[in-house]
Structure 1
Amino acid sequence: MFGIAWGVGSLLLLVGLGEGFRSGNKKQFSDLGENVMFIWSGRAPALNGSFTGLRQYYLTENDYDDVVREAPHVKIAVPVLSRGDVRAVSEFFNSSGQLLGVPPAFNQIRYIPIDDGRWMNDLDNSEKRAVVVLGDEARRVLFPGRPSVGSIILLNGIRFQVVGTLKRIGHGDNNTLNLRIFIPYNTMRQYYPPTGVGELQNAINFINYQPVSREVHELARQEVHKIIARNHGFDYQNPDSFDEWDTIRTVDQIGKIFDAMNVFLGSVGLVTLALGAIGIVNVMLVAVADRTREIGLRKALGATNGSVMFQFFVEGAFLTLVSGVIGMAGAAAIMAGLAQLPQPPGFDTPRLVPTTAVLAISSLAVAGILAGLYPASKAAALQPVEALRKE
């Protein structure tokens, strides 16, 4: 019985843990946004076709404009300005999180959950208004236990009004995303342009874009490559010239890893279940041997082969069923206990996967049939005279 219970329980629990990791990773990526893709400035060959020297190139607003105009498989794109050296000061405390200048459409690509107030609008951007939206941790630091919307903060000495705050993103102690501070793109361009980009007046730090659908993300990526390579004078077929991150590809790769892990963990559980079924078969064979005289007496009194076979088949199947139910209950109890514990980043509460439950029940049924059928057939094959002679 223990083998069957352990096999069913381990099958459900191991696959449930794998699904917990899969779900946790999906949530981490959903904190960035849906189907979001990044491309930053990069390094290209100094001479087209050369592989010896590299030169730095910087993305510009021209690149962004061309992507919007010429890439049919790009649904939406936004330019982003970023600085990490801007000091935010309130009347209570100060913070040095990342400052981002973004257009209003940024929240259509990236995950921006508003907690209080509002997000930036087109007028904020076109009129270069001094308004700011605070990430959750930035709000906690700058306004501990106090209302923030409507208050004033200083960004490198320039007054900005807080118009909105964000909900907390992610889990655990990683506050990088929550320390971000957002201001309108044109305001950022005026007061805090990118640094380290030479004499370029229209440089941007990176572009976020989203394909028309997940299925065409490679086409969208190739279109963006061609545009940037053309604008900066290098071959788009050189992948080392691009500094980028395709979260769709990463999610798909991680999904394949978890699929392989689920197959492996499920196989371990099935092997354990098979060993448990063999154990049940051995128990029932011993029972047939110990009850040989009983079988002979029953058959001498008129019991048919079918009735004897049915008796032992039911006993074997019942033992298997009880063992499987114990295993399922144990796995469910462990999952419920884990759900009460704080979950680390990248891991979600293990859950019962319906397909795995169906697989476990199907495997349990097969194990029950095997565990009952063979010993039952052995019992039914006994001759009454020989069985009654057995001591």
Structure 2
Amino acid sequence: MSVQKYTTAKGTRWRVLFTTPDGTRTQKRGFLTKTAAKAWETKQASDILTGQWVSNSGGNSSLAELGDEWIKRKNYLKPSSMPPLTNAYWNHVRPKWGNTRIKDIRHSDIAAWVDGLTTLNGDRPLSATGKRYAHQVLSSILRDAVKDGLIPSNPAEGVTLPRKNKKQNTYLTAAQLHHFASQCGDHELLVLLLGYTGMRWGEAIALTGDDVNTVTRRISITKNAVWVNGHIKVGTPKTHENRTVPIPRFLARRVAEAAVGKGDCLLFPDSHGGYLPRPSSSSSNWFANAAKRAGVYPLTPHDLRHTAASLAVHTGANVKVIQRMLGHSSAVETLNRYADLFDSDLDEVAEKLDALARESGFA
């Protein structure tokens, strides 16, 4: 950096020549005194060294300029993960903030915006999940702007977000699961596998005959088929990691028979040989009707995944085994999701500690 004097029609002025962190040579003009120029130079040098430097003009970029590029960069996400983000951006974030310069976006304004978000037709408040998605998108765009040195801090950080009402997990007993499956007709085997292995719906409908190993009684999960905007998208499992799940012995023969001659053909196709659609929340599909007949309505396919976790816990399986079976990214995720299933373990620990104390003569 250097400070130089120059002359204008209004008299002597001072400027600072400096190089930005990206190597651009630029200057700041118009200082009335050398002292003011030197003070500004010192501040810039300090900000560059500490990583706090912010471009003088970067904050003039509109949110839309950065946001449109941000959405394009998200093409690495799984197809099922994109719609919530794109909907939040195009329906809520861009209409409100698109023409706003990022340096003019204030924390209090964001807080008020989140609090007042409504559905598209404006007839009711947006759900807690919807508000959180909208805030997540705006915050992510602004976070990138901070990293690029366009603004000094992210005004979306620290905004109070509405709490999501956590849905109570539904767990079927083994008897309920078998009774429900018996009401599902041609889908009985699929339902039993979902309830005993914990496969996701998309993983189950993507299975082919080649994925079944009848010798080891294992199923290889390498694919996940999801419906996005009416079209099927086949990709890797949710965590991008392949895994195998065990087939209970009583189901092994039926699974083996179902896989005979299938090869790379779907194990559980629809009536036309294609991917079986996930039962909707409607009360008039085969899944819902079977649940009503079995006395377990309302029930969703994902509740069968919860059921598999519950049955595994009751067999005494440890959390790492359940994590691998369900394909969670970590045991922490498993514990957080199914903490209620492990409550009985606390009583068991207490009993064992009591027995240990008694054996040692301290009780």
TM range (shorter): under 0.3
Q: State the structure with more CA Rg.
A: 1
Q: Which has the higher strand share?
A: 1
Higher relative contact order, structure no. (Cα contacts within 8 Å, ≥ 6 residues apart): 1
TM-score normalized by the length of structure 2: 0.21
TM-score normalized by the length of structure 1: 0.20
